[in-house]
Amino acid sequence: MSKNLKIFLKIILPLLLGVFLVWYSLSKVSLDELYIYLKKADYKWIVIGLLFGLLSHLSRAYRWLFMLEPLGYKIKFGNSVMAVFAGYLINFTIPRAGEVARASILSNYEKVPFEKGFGTIVSERIADLILMAGIIFITLFLQFDFIYSFLIAKFNLTKILIGLVVFVLLIFGFLKIIKHSNLPISTKIKSFIKGLVEGVFSIFKMDKKWPFIFHSFFIWAMYVLMFYATSLAVEELHDISLGAILIGFISASFSIAATNGGIGSYPLAIYAAFSIFGIAQEPSLAFGWIIWSSQTLMIILLGGISLIYLPIYNRKAQKKAILKSHKD
């Protein structure tokens, strides 16, 4: 694959998709209508939603310390917090570049080798993936009757079951082929799967595994509470059900991978999920834009401050360490 094609697929295509989805979203609800919803919004709940979001990010930064300690690195919490926010901000420019930036910041200011720092981030994402799968499972359990009825009404159940069986067989066949193949691409896939498995089990081998697990649950609880609290800012969504909240949250979470930071895709994903429950288009899209805009502004502000303050903070810390060594 050529360098220009990689740049197009990784950077330009998500941006173009984001711009298109913004246009499409605004074709469904005008700027004037959005302004009315913004004007009527209860900003108390938006602030509470921001607080839950902030707590999740701080917990993520603190959880990172537990992963680095067994490797022999006791990093400053301030650097961990600023690396997390800087990484989030950079993800808005180039998808997944934020993870690389986090590991680079740690390498520059805490002397943690890049590959080790990046390895902990991969393990962290595996933990997040497991918890996301847990939320999906809980949602399916709580809303099984509703989801089943919806699928029956909208789709042919026999075709869905056949499709699922074919999909499982294809995955099974693919894994069997990969297992017995010696092609370079097969070796890479096997190495990736092995790394995922090792990453999952490494969580249970760390000294502070229970604090790590607690923070992992706390992070995702804050995400869900952030979503629910912000929905209360829109009057039309005050009676929204738990099922709608959970399905909307799952849909919105997946949309972040589609475009840079979920631009354009986030409000539409919420609208698509809420429409299943018969919730009107305008308040659904308005809520989507309110929560995405408020959380994005927080990331831009704190991420920008982090990038500016990182060298100043570490210069001060270095001076304090030098003064302390002279006194000793």
Question: Residue 316: what pLDDT?
Answer: 75
Question: How large is the C-alpha radius of gyration of the chain?
Answer: 22
220 close to 289: Cβ distance less than 8 angstroms: no
The span from the CA of 223 to the CA of 245, in Å, is 11
Which of 120, 125, 86 has its CA nearest to residue 102?
86
69 close to 207: Cβ distance less than 8 angstroms: yes
The span from the CA of 46 to the CA of 40, in Å, is 12
Question: Residue 141: what pLDDT?
Answer: 86
Question: Residue 252: what pLDDT?
Answer: 92
The span from the CA of 103 to the CA of 116, in Å, is 8
35 close to 282: Cβ distance less than 8 angstroms: no
Cβ burial, residue 254 (10 Å; 0-12/13-18/19+): middle
Question: Residue 9: what pLDDT?
Answer: 47
Residue 272 DSSP label:
H
For the chain, 328 residues long, the average pLDDT of each consecutive 10-residue run is 51 59 67 85 96 96 89 89 92 80 89 84 87 90 75 66 82 80 75 62 73 93 96 93 92 84 87 90 92 93 92 79 56
80 close to 60: Cβ distance less than 8 angstroms: no
Amino acid at 279: I
Tokens of 240: 């929204």
29 close to 285: Cβ distance less than 8 angstroms: yes
Amino acid at 249: F
| CA atoms lying within 13 Å on the CB side of residue 324 | 6
Backbone angles phi, psi at 29, to 5 degrees: -140, 125
Question: Residue 25: what pLDDT?
Answer: 67
For the chain, domain boundaries: 25-149+208-320
Question: Residue 232: what pLDDT?
Answer: 95
271 close to 22: Cβ distance less than 8 angstroms: no
The span from the CA of 232 to the CA of 15, in Å, is 30
CA–CA distance from 195 to each of 190, 200, 212 (Å)? 8, 9, 19
